[in-house]
Amino acid sequence: MATMDLHGRIHPGDEDPTPNIPYDEDVLVSLITEIYKTILRLRPAEEAFVVWPPPGGHQLDLSAIPPGDIVHPRLVSLMKRLPVYKSCRECVVPSMTAVDFLRSEGMRQSRLVNLRNYDLPDDQFVLAPPTAMVLLTGWHDLTPILVLDISDNTVRWVGDTENLEDDYTKAEKDPEKVANWCYDYTNWPEMPAPVYFERVLQNYLEAAWIPNSVGSVWTLDEPVMAERQRLLKEEYGWPSNFREGAWKEKAEDLMQEDIDKIEEERETVRALLAARVVKTS
């Protein structure tokens, strides 16, 4: 089965087939809701960043989807029940933010499961299957994207060509064919959607991921994370005896430390460059 790395990317696994888990709307709604609630406990941010579904579900503007596109009623039902993260600067998975499909622009973006569409006019779109949508997209760019397809209850992390590692891309010598191959989300490794979101939730609960005060997510492979994981668990009681307010104040301080360190490194580089200029003049 495919595996998920510390940055939320999905990679091909061993030869064991991906388990077929029947689609269950209640399961996905429950998992994604719990992920958002967990993030809000950890992140120094206002809960207003998340819009929770009202009784009867969200009102969706389906007129915003590309011409000729169709959204399956089961997918519409799911979207109506999902919480929506409103801030495009707040990561849900490292380097990826939620698509705000309550806005017309976000609803349109949720249909761009084929990356070629970002370079095409609306009347030439490669239409999404009625059962698929983009849930997450890149923080600084339009890629990567996380595509959910309820027809087979899977998610796929879709990014740049060099990250698509399979027999086709390893064997194909024509770079144009490889470039075209990467556009279609179905060519990327899949993972059962409940398994993926369970692992996302577990990464937060185990403090392998810790949201910070500027919207990104510290991951366990970062040099600072061992100490921050210890702080969160041992001094602030995460997750069962969590001192939420105290942690959020501390997270602001930690982020300022990171900013100060980056600025110190920049000053060092500037000084070295200036010394080289003086030496060569």
Q: What pLDDT, on the 0 to 100 scale, is given for residue 135?
A: 95
Cα–Cα distance between 187 and 166 in angstroms, integer?
Answer: 9
CA dihedral 23, 96, 204, 56 (to 10 degrees): -50
Lowest mean pLDDT of 87-91, 160-164, 194-198, name the range.
160-164
Whether residue 251 is predicted with pLDDT greater than 60 in this model: the reply is: yes
For residue 141, tell me if it sits in a domain: yes
For residue 114, which of 69, 64, 166 has the smallest C-alpha distance? 69
Among residues 179, 205, 231, the one where a domain terminates is 205
In the chain, % of residues over pLDDT 90 = 49
pLDDT exceeds cutoff 60 at 167: no
Q: Say whether pLDDT at 47 is over 60.
A: no
How many structural domains is the chain composed of?
Answer: 2
* Domain shared by 122 and 45, yes or no: yes
> Structure pTM?
0.87
Q: Which residues, 6+ apart, have CB-to-CB distance to 253 below 8 Å?
A: none
Q: Are residues 271 and 194 in the same domain?
A: no
Full domain range(s) for residue 275: 223-280
Same domain? For 186 and 235 the reply is no
Same domain, 157 and 22: yes
Residues 122 and 255 in one domain: no
Same domain (yes/no): 241, 139:
no
Q: What is the rounded average pLDDT for all residues in the chain?
A: 86
Q: What's residue 166's pLDDT? A: 60
- Residue 218 lies inside a defined structural domain of this protein: no
Instruction: Choose the final residue of a domain: 176, 205, 234.
Output: 205
**213 is a domain residue:** no
* Residue 46 pLDDT > 70: no
Q: Is residue 211 part of a domain?
A: no
Question: Do 199 and 263 sit in the same domain of this protein?
Answer: no
Counting residues of the chain whose pLDDT is more than 70, the rounded percentage is 88
Grouping H, G, I as helix, E, B as strand and the rest as coil, residue 171 is helix
Residue 243: pLDDT band (50, 70, 90) is very high
**Average pLDDT estimate for 186-193:** 90
Residues 41, 111 within the same domain: yes
Residue 177 forms part of a structural domain: yes
Looking at the structure, do residues 192 and 231 belong to the same domain, yes or no?
no
What pLDDT was estimated at residue 163? 58
Query: Are 128 and 257 found together in one domain?
Result: no
Task: Give the bridge partners for 12, in sequence order.
Answer: none
